[in-house]
Amino acid sequence: MARWWTILRSAVFVAPLCAAVSALAGGVSLLACLFDRGGRQTWRLARLWARLLLEIAGVRVEVAGAQKIAPGASYVLVANHASRLDLLCLLAHIPVPVRFLVDKRHFAIPVAGFYLRRAGHLPISTATARQSLETITAAARQIAERGAAVVVFASGLHGAGPLPFRDGAAYLAIRAGVPLVSVALRGSEAALPPGSWVVRKADIRIEIGDPIPTLDLRLEDRARLAESVRASLAGAR
């Protein structure tokens, strides 16, 4: 009975309301990004949109360690990725404006590409190891120049496949000279399992680790740095 009620609730209430909110938020965000070159107002709208969707779905999020993220500082945040809700949770509850690495092909899509660029998201290519390295190097340069907290999912990139080498996030942080931070999401898979579109009421916990400085590290140190972050994310689901 509980499962059928969850499916009915999702189909009749959650999905239609989320679609309506997303359509409205998308229109407002597109308008806002015309006048928001830095992407800060666009992020605030995205944060509000994400919080509304989580509220509609009945998903409660608790954050531990938010004080470790300093306003105005740049970071590479490495998060585990078990559910489509992960992006919403990070947008809604990381306490600074976050950007994502997005498949470079999406930037060529009319309207969507314009929004991604204005919002400050960074293009990445996973077509070949060489292209991936080139786009990560370019992303590192933008992080260092602009100042941004960029999210990399440990199991792959948002809107892209996994990097062809395991230490991409550590490489990005070292090249940009910014701290690497682990972000463990626990419980998102229970709220929205992979392959499912039925959102369940659930509690999700975000645990933000201690920032690891990279200014004194060399690219040769990236494997050790990546392993340290992977260990802190072990078991997070």
Domain span at 63? 2-233
d(CA 22, CA 233): 31
Taking only the tens place, the pLDDT of each residue in 43-88 is 999 999 999 999 999 999 999 999 999 988 899 999 988 898 999 9
Q: Angle CA(135)–CA(177)–CA(169) in degrees, nearest 5?
A: 50
Q: Which of the four pLDDT bands, split at 50, 70 and 90, describes residue 209?
A: very high
Cross-strand partners of 185: 206
Cross-strand partners of 186: 205
Q: Which of 74, 70, 98 is nearest to 86 (CA)?
A: 98
pLDDT of residue 196: 86
Q: Are 153 and 79 in contact (CB under 8 A)?
A: yes
Q: Are 96 and 73 in contact (CB under 8 A)?
A: yes
pLDDT of residue 236: 64
Strand 59-64 and strand 202-208: pairing? parallel
Taking only the tens place, the pLDDT of each residue in 15-44 is 999 999 999 999 999 898 888 877 888 999
The burial class, CB within 10 Å (0-12 / 13-18 / 19+), for 44 is: middle
CATH number of the domain that residue 179 is part of: 3.40.1130
Cross-strand partners of 101: 122
Strand 180-186 and strand 202-208: pairing? antiparallel
Domain count, the chain: 1
Taking only the tens place, the pLDDT of each residue in 92-131 is 999 888 999 888 899 999 989 999 988 889 888 877 777 8
The model's pTM: 0.86
